[in-house]
């Protein structure tokens, strides 16, 4: 069996996983990465997995920023409010 016909597994894309990873392993990794704190024991091995990890982190950061900005008011006061 050649290496090209071999079916890809999670081991090809991540290190630190069991031979038969469970959904909970990937949920743990995704949840930790979404809070911009990827777990140290599960690492992305391929370019695609690293790109997906970075996209997830940037998306989570953008969502948290948008959520936090909804509580802040960045409007300048009108001139009539400045005078009193």
Q: Do the beta carbons of residue 1 and residue 35 sit within 8 Å?
A: no
pLDDT of residue 47 exceeding 80, the answer is: yes
Report in angstroms the alpha-carbon separations of 26 from 10, 58, 63, 66, 69: 10, 18, 21, 26, 30
Positions of E strands within 1-84: 14-15, 43-44
Q: Judge if pTM exceeds 0.75.
A: no
pLDDT at 12: 75
Cβ burial, residue 28 (10 Å; 0-12/13-18/19+): middle
């Amino acid at each position: 069996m050649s290496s090209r016909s071999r079916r890809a597994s999670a081991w090809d894309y991540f290190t630190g996983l069991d031979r038969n990873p469970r959904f909970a392993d990937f949920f743990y990794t995704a949840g930790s990465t979404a809070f911009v704190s990827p777990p140290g024991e599960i690492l992305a091995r391929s370019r695609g997995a690293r790109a997906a990890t970075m996209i997830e982190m940037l998306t989570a950061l953008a969502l948290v920023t948008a959520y936090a900005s909804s509580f802040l008011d960045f409007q300048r006061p009108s001139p009539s409010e400045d005078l009193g």
